[in-house]
Structure 1
């Protein structure tokens, strides 16, 4: 039990560092790797809880820098779709769930590599579809990021705006995922206590990552984001095959 907790804490620290630096990535890294240590349903709920706990940290800056119109529209559709994702998870076998979660991380990597769009922001239809897909993935894998990250990173906007907008969406979807998980019976008290034990690792990793943000050029930051997605997806597949 102690060794398992230490392993979970180490993974949590690394994922939280990525979150602090890029604005996303915690769940994309946590859930596939957690799912190899605990059951996929437990990994998903732990990922959701840890995002709720870290969400208020730096919220004032997030609200100041985020593009609220798009972030709130995405979050609204994600709230509606999250219970669908949880129901899908509950009716999926663990091995299939692990494979689909790993595939989701790789899919996000591919989307980020697509060329940037023009100066115009995405329209309401694309924004709504992004939110709906994000909600399903929140419930199924605690990973709202794969649709949201390409949505913002493919726009020619400053990293500060992209990072803050993603963080705002992820905080709202994490709250929704927590409530829906309790209502639909995915959560239990042991996972709540485990998330509290892991929270110091999240705080430390996120703090160090946030300190590093802004010290690299925008193009290098975007390349690092893409690399994080790729490594997370490939690592999950390799561990799953082993």
Structure 2
């Protein structure tokens, strides 16, 4: 049997639509791919498969843009990324030991936490202290492993400050790319990275490319205040959808 025969037509169609929509949001806002993609994929796949598949797609699209991300990111992105690499395996081990039902509840909670954090008052342009930055890195790594979502701590850290949009986007995308690589390495280490998942990711990747390109095009045409409003709406919508799926 072909590895892709493990999925039926409805599962693949759902994954294609989710990949396109989440990639569009990524291109538009600089984040949102995992936050939107994982909860949807977890309805058709196991939570562990959904996390690993999202990491495959996030790494692939991030590597295509890596030069721009390295050039445009804030220095703090490297510190956060280093902590993500260290703590991601702990989150993935916890996910592998958790029942799918509990994992879906936790993933929904993570999506809600991102929305709550983003509506808090914005700070200045200066990077927060080492303790805050370290906490963001540790939490992001744990969430990368457990839910394939490095974004909930990272997005408020950058968007919640008065940084210019391109610096915030590049910093977030760089962290998410490194987080995806860390998640895949951790998955391989515990034997969860099966061949069928990279193959399914390859099938979905054209939808990711198109969605991301369209999002980038629209992003350049909107004002910064509108962009920040869209960030809040996306996080709020993801949180609401994740909760509704549990009811």
Normalising by structure 1, what TM-score? 0.97
Aligned to 1:235: 241
Spell out the pairing of 1:155-174 with structure 2 (5 A cutoff). Answer: 155-174=161-180
Distance in 1, matches of 2:126 and 2:29, equals 23
Whether 2:180 is the aligned partner of 1:180: answer no
What is aligned with 1:14? Answer: 21
Give distance in 1, aligned partners of 2:154 and 2:245.
26
What aligned pairs does 1:64-75 form with structure 2 within 5 A after superposition? Answer: 64-67=71-74, 69-75=75-81
Which position in structure 1 is the counterpart of 2:5? none
Q: 1:132 aligns with which of 131, 134, 138?
A: 138
How far residue 57 of structure 1 moved from its aligned partner, in angstroms, is 2.2
Deviations 1:201-230 (A, max 9, x none): 111100110111121111110110011011
**1:58 matched to 2:65:** yes
- The answer to whether residue 71 in structure 2 is matched with residue 39 in structure 1 is no
Give the Å deviation of 1:125.
1.4
135-144 or 185-194: bigger deviation: 185-194
Residue number in structure 2 paired with 1:193: 199
Partner of 1:215: 221
* Distance of 1:3 and 1:91 partners within structure 2: 28
Q: Deviations over 1:54-77 (max 9, x none)?
A: 11222222222211x200000001
Greater than 6 Å deviation, 4+ residue runs: none
Residues 7-66 of structure 1 deviation map (CA, whole Å, 9 limit, x = unaligned)? 210111000000011110000000011101111111111111111111122222222221
Q: How many residues align?
A: 240
* 2:116 counterpart residue number: 110
Contact 1:36-1:240 within 8 A present in 2 as well = no
- 1:6 deviates by 1.3
Match status 1:145 vs 2:162: no
SS at match of 1:56: helix
User: 2:14·2:41 contact (CA, 8 Å) conserved in 1?
Assistant: no
Q: CA deviation at 1:233?
A: 1.3
1:119 Cα offset (Å): 4.1
Question: Within 1, Cα distance between the matches of 2:125 and 2:237?
Answer: 30
Q: How far apart in 2 are the matches of 1:41 and 1:130?
A: 23
Q: State the shift of 1:108 in Å.
A: 0.1
- Partners of 1:123 and 1:163 in 2: CA distance: 20
